Amino acid sequence: MTRLTVRNLTKSFGKIEVIRGIDLDVADGEFVVFVGPSGCGKSTLLRMISGLETISGGELWIGDRKVNEVQAAKRGLAMVFQSYALYPHLTVRQNMGFGLKVRKESPDEIERRVNEAARTLQLDKLLDRYPRELSGGQRQRVAIGRAIVGDPQVFLFDEPLSNLDAELRVHMRAEIAALHRRLGNTTIYVTHDQIEAMTLADRIVVLRDGRIEQVGSPKELYARPDNVFVAQFIGSPKMNVCPVEAIRSPLQRAGFSTGGATQAGLRPEHLRIVDEAEGILCGRVSISEYTGGGALLHVELEGAPVFLVENSGDDAPQPGDIVHLAFSGSDLHLFDAEGRACHREPELA
Amino acid sequence: MASLNETGTTVRAPRAPWLTLKRRETIEGWLFVSPTLIGFLIFFLGPLIAVVFYSLSEWNLLSQDTTFVGLANYEDALTQNPDFWQVIRNSVIFAAGLVPMNMALALALAMALARPFRGVVFFRTIFFAPVVTSAVAWAIVWKFLLQGDAGAVNQMLATVGIDGPNWLREPNWAMAAVIVTRVLKMVGLNMILYIAALQSIPRDYEEAARLEGASEWQIFRMVIWPLLAPTTLIIMVITTIGSFKVFDHIYLMTGGGPENGTLVLAFYIYQQAFEFFEIGYASALAMIMFVIVLALTVVQLILRQKGST
Amino acid sequence: MALSQPQLATVKRTCWMLSLVVVAIPFLFPFLWMISSGFKGPTEIFGEPTLIPRTWRWQNFVEVFDYQPFARQYFNSIYIACAVTVLTLLLSSLAGYALARMRFAGAALLMVFLMSALMVPEEVTIVPNFFLMKWLGVMDTHVPLILLPVFGPHGVMATFLMRQYFVALPKELEDAGKMDGLSRVGIWWKIALPMSRPALAAVAIITFLFSWNLFLEPLVFLSSLENFTLPLALSNFTDPYGAPLWHLQLAATSLAVVPILIVYLIAQRQIIESFAMSGVKG
Ligand SMILES: Nc1ncnc2c1ncn2[C@@H]1O[C@H](COP(=O)(O)OP(=O)(O)OP(=O)(O)O)[C@@H](O)[C@H]1O
Ligand SMILES: [Mg+2]
């Protein structure tokens, strides 16, 4: 069984604590994605799980084994690195078979497993090339191939696609998803690309400053963020947040109760431009950014804050136009003074 | 701490093993450095400490007995023995002659050879060749060339009507000769350090200055020279320390003579220890040399700090 | 007469080249003179100076080997330099790797400690080392000539040079090695070293030459002719009264220098770069 259990994990570099008590359970076969701003400790946490970084405190279990002090190679994991980390002096075949060779597998077995992995990843024709003779996408595939030949219990990925161009990234993302469906290994994947996180993850872990902000399925994080940070971190363009004070009267007029909330949030894609009669909020378009399918409007509301509004269709308002915005009550997010979500009473939902 | 296993019962976590990953790393790290470290302790640090004790004793290898004499050896050097101050004077003259000459020539050659042109590799190769040649060979050949009347240098000077001195037998000329030949031997090293530094200066600076109408000399003074300052500092200290260490060159060319005119500190230490067997006195000299080199290094560090702020 | 622009440039260029050639003479001339005089007889060598010997005395190169066990001495230099080079490569890359990559307690202190060696000249420690070697019973053997360069300031310099290079290598490769199950030694040997060829080559070159040219240590530790190394042997071609036998000395010096020069001419770029690398660090 390859559950992964993390209990109160901490890590300090000298005096600086970069991981501050992480608790997490990853189920067998689950695809978990770590996201968070740069420097929040995603890589460090992943490297602690992999064994490349020592653990300062807490416990790490893989299956039924506590592995805090088990060497990286003996944890039954495989890792795919951002820079691919292919050995430049070895061919693709040797790169992929290297770990097996170190583990003293028989040459026949190595051959068999390398070929199998190569077939899975369509690397058959590249086996005798050197890494420098491969394109970025091919190198990435070799790196993944190297990870799967060892038949690990858990896959770890640290921003595996960030060195690829946009098109290839979309393609490889789909390949990774397909691979996971086929192999079904427990997977932990670090990225700061939201779309990657949303499309790949069974569950997303949002990290900030070495702590978990929220864990949940992509839908949960999007629909019911626990706090302002997650609300703004998930979703693109990011959620509009303003003091409740600034829009209290329009909200009351529309019949939304704000309870004790001090901040209100609305996603740009949930704001519709409507006639004056239906409008809840009203503002002036200051900038209109054409995005192809529609336009992203910067709307200066009466109460001062600027809201982003996604407008589909060709008839985008021009800068200077007055627009009226409406939204449904279930899309209104309310947060208290500490930024925690105020879960509204059922009758309002 | 307890944790849940898959059936929901609790299992006690095994106690953390003694050999944690951190301990393992520490042990492995020390194992990696241990060959170097052990050898270093035995053949370098130990002797360095021993020198301190030697320097505090009267110990003549011939008489075979050792007595503790405190600072007497230092006193002897600094106040009694006239040779010592002559040696220091010689060492300072040697350094004062060698360092500026070496650096000026190195910089001039580097300026000439930093940019590619036809034949640049040829010249670089020639100027650097003495660096890879053994100091012994270089000294032997120059001693041969600088002999009195029979030497090739003087014979050539004679053809243009100059009566050359007996270079290595007259104190002042001998000092000049060892300095110049040493510069010829080592200048290539500083030259390539300067070339590397020059090549790392972006051309933009120079071109910007040229567009503003600066002359070649102004470009050098105002752009290149300030940018070379860190390199100049390092080269200066390395070369100065190196000049205090010179032994083989002088040993072979002049044997410290004539009239101790080229007897420098490194040679003096050798002479006291291995020709006169005055171990205590030689050790005191070694300590003095150590302090000089240390002082030079500290000066370098201070200057470098200043330069970076 | 006014010169046109291109003519002026040509004149400038020629003057420029000529001045470089003049400066190059004292660098090049000793080598030429050394080789030519190595072919001259004991009388011609003091006659009118000519670059081309009037009579080529090949016999010099035979007498060199009769005068003292020069072949043996030559071999000594080669094998000592090889031993010093191999040991230095091994130890400096091991220690350099640990200092670059491993986070172990005491590493920072150790760095400072080792660095202090860079500022202590060999002359300072040679006296105690003399007694140490005597006590070890290895006087007049090659042991001191191998151990002292490896563990002295030169070895420390090599360690730092290696460290500097390892620090700049991509770390993820080594992490991948770890995940693949390599031990520390395995990572060092199979990943870090193969990627460090330029640094290893630089250390090898400067170390070989360092050992090859060593003079003070052989002078202090060696006493029998058959144990001499080349630099010591070269200084030893004298007549019974101590006057140099120039024709033999220069022939022998040529034999010692020319092979190195040939290697230098072939690999000059690599060799010069190696010195530049060590100079900047050292
Ligand atoms: N070896 C180290 N020594 C000291 N501090 C470190 C070390 N490695 C990482 N850190 C610090 O730990 C924090 C977390 O780093 P980490 O690499 O885990 O961030 P990350 O979330 O992966 O960021 P990114 O998205 O930029 O990759 C950072 O503040 C970083 O400076
Ligand atoms: Mg990272």
**Chain C CA closest to residue B51:** C128
Q: Establish if A205 belongs to a structural domain.
A: yes
Cα distance between residue C259 and residue A118, in whole Å: 51
Q: What is the pLDDT of residue A304?
A: 67
The answer to whether residues B296 and B216 belong to one domain is yes
Residue A18's domain spans which residues?
4-233
Last residue of a domain, one of A205, A233, A261: A233
C158 close to C204: Cβ distance less than 8 angstroms: no
Convert the pLDDT of each residue in C206-250 to its tens digit. Answer: 999 999 999 999 999 999 999 999 999 998 888 878 788 888 889
A191 and A285 both lie in a single domain:
no
Query: Is residue B60 located within the same domain as residue B194?
Result: no
Q: Report yes or no on A134 lying in a domain.
A: yes
Q: Do A52 and A149 fall into the same domain?
A: yes
Is the Cβ pair A52, C194 closer than 8 Å?
Answer: no
pLDDT tens by residue, A32-87: 999 999 999 999 999 999 999 999 999 999 988 999 989 888 898 999 998 889 99
Q: Looking at the predicted structure, is the pLDDT value of residue A329 above 60?
A: yes
In this prediction, residues A299-327 reach a mean pLDDT of 84
C24, C220, C279: residue with CB nearest B274: C220
Is B9 domain-assigned? no
* Whether residue B82 sits in one domain with residue B43: no
Residue B283 in domain: yes
Give the mean pLDDT of B25-47.
Answer: 92
Domain end (from A169, A201, A233): A233
Shared-domain flag, residues A11 and A83:
yes
- Domain boundary among the residues B68, B94, B113 is at B68
Identify whether A343 is part of a domain: no
Cα of A47 vs centre of ligand 2, distance in Å, is 10
Q: Are residues B20 and B117 in the same domain?
A: no
- The verdict on B127 and B168 lying in the same domain is yes
The pairing of beta strand B2-4 with beta strand B10-12: antiparallel
Which of B59, B136, B198, B239 should be substituted to probe chain C, the one whose Cβ sees the most C Cβ atoms within 10 Å?
B136
Pair C76, C61: CB distance under 8 Å? no
Question: What is the pLDDT at residue C49?
Answer: 73
Q: Could you tell me if C117 lies within 8 Å of chain A, comparing CB atoms?
A: no
| Assigned token pair, A271 | 């704001």
Q: Is the pLDDT reported for residue C275 higher than 70?
A: yes
Percent of chain A at pLDDT above 90? 52
Residues with CB under 5 Å of ion ligand 2 are: A 43
Mean pLDDT of the C157-179 span? 92
Q: Which of B68, B98, B130 is the last residue of a domain?
A: B68
Q: Please tell me whether residues B63 and B101 are part of one structural domain.
A: no
pLDDT in tens, B260-289: 889 999 999 999 999 988 888 999 999 999
pLDDT, position B7 = 45
Residue A344 covered by a domain:
no
Give the total number of structural domains in chain A. Answer: 2
- Please give the residue that has the higher pLDDT: either C142 or A329: C142
Residues A283 and A139 in one domain: no
Maximum mean pLDDT: which of A336-345, C39-48, C122-131? C122-131
Task: Supply the pLDDT for residue B187.
Answer: 95
- Same-domain check for residues B137 and B276: yes
pLDDT digits (tens, 9 = 90+) for B162-207: 887 888 888 889 999 999 999 999 999 999 999 999 998 888 888 8
Together in a domain, A43 and A64: yes
Indicate whether A346 pLDDT > 50.
Answer: no
Is residue C211 within 8 Å of C85, Cβ to Cβ? Answer: yes
Is residue A255, in this structure, part of any structural domain at all?
yes
Question: Which secondary-structure segment (H or E) carries C92?
Answer: helix C70-101
The share of chain B scoring above pLDDT 90, in percent, equals 45
Here the tokens at position A40 are 């929040």
Does A340 map to a domain? Answer: no
In a domain, B96, yes or no: yes
CB-CB under 8 Å, A51 with B4: no
Task: Please state, rounded to an integer, the average pLDDT across all residues of chain A.
Answer: 89
A160 assigned to some structural domain: yes
In CATH, C69-236 is 3.10.450.50: no
Say if residue B109 is in the same domain as residue B150: yes
Q: What is the pLDDT, as a whole number, of residue B289?
A: 92
Burial B221-256 (b: 16+ CB within 10 A, else e): eebbeebbeebbbbbbbbbbbbbbbbbbbbbbbbeb
Query: Distance (Å, rounded) from C-alpha A212 to C-alpha A206?
Result: 6
pLDDT of residue B12: 53
pLDDT beyond 50 at A347: no
Domain range annotation of chain C: 5-59, 69-236
Is it the case that residue B9 has pLDDT exceeding 70? no
Please identify which residue in the block is written with the tokens 């000066």.
Answer: B299
Are A81 and C172 within 8 A, CB to CB? yes
d(CA A219, CA A201): 10
C3/chain B closest Cα distance in angstroms: 22
* Whether residues A226 and A260 fall in one domain: no
Tell me the CATH number at B99. 1.10.3720.10
> Is the pTM above the cut of 0.95?
no
Identify whether B10 is part of a domain. Answer: no
| A138 and A263 together in one domain | no
Whether residues B199 and B54 fall in one domain: no
Considering the domain architecture, whether residues B84 and B63 belong to the same structural domain is answered as: no
Domain co-membership, B195 together with B246: yes
Query: What is the ipTM score, two decimals?
Result: 0.90
**Are A50 and A195 in the same domain?**
yes
CA C129 centroid distance within chain: 22
**Which residue in this structure is represented by tokens 């790797």?**
C97
Residue B211: partners with Cβ closer than 8 Å, 6 or more residues away: none
Residues with CB under 6 A from ligand 1: A 13, 18, 36, 38-44, 192
Cβ contact (<8 Å) for A61 and B1? Answer: no
Which residues of chain A make contact with C173, given a CB cutoff of 8 A?
Answer: 85, 87
Residues 6+ apart with CB under 8 A from C186: A102, C177
First to last CA, chain B: 52
> Mind listing the pLDDT tens digit for each residue in C84-109?
999 999 999 999 999 999 888 888 88
Residue A241 above 70 pLDDT?
Answer: yes
Average pLDDT, chain B: 86
In a domain, A203, yes or no: yes
**Domain range holding B83?**
74-308
- C191 touches A: beta carbon within 8 Å: yes
**Pair B211, B229 in one domain:** yes
The identity of residue C76, as a single letter, is N
Look at residue B26 and tell me if it is in a domain: yes
What is the tally of structural domains in chain B?
A: 2
| Percent share of chain C, pLDDT over 70 | 98
In a mutational test of the pocket of ligand 1, which residue from A9, A40, A81, A209 has the highest number of ligand atoms less than 8 Å from its CB? A40
Q: What are B138-170's pLDDT values in tens digits?
A: 999 999 998 887 788 888 888 888 887 888 888
Nearest to A212 by CA among A340, A36, A3: A36
The CATH number of the domain holding residue A108 is 3.40.50.300
pLDDT confidence tier of residue B3, bands split at 50, 70 and 90: very low
pLDDT of residue A344: 58
Per-residue confidence (pLDDT) for residue A58, from 0 to 100: 92
> How many Cα atoms sit within 13 Å of B5 on the Cβ side?
9
Q: How confident is the model at residue A122 (pLDDT cuts 50, 70, 90)?
A: confident
Chain C interface mutation, best of B51, B121, B132, B269, highest count of C Cβ atoms under 10 Å? B132
**Rounded Cα gap, residues B264 and B182, in angstroms:** 14
Model confidence band, residue B309 (pLDDT cutoffs 50, 70, 90): low
B101-123: per-residue pLDDT in tens?
999 999 999 999 988 888 889 99
CATH for A254: 2.40.50.140
Most confident listed range (A234-238, B103-107, C179-183) = B103-107
Answer whether residue B1 is part of any domain: no
* Residue A231 pLDDT > 90: yes
- CB count in 10 Å sphere of residue A52: 23
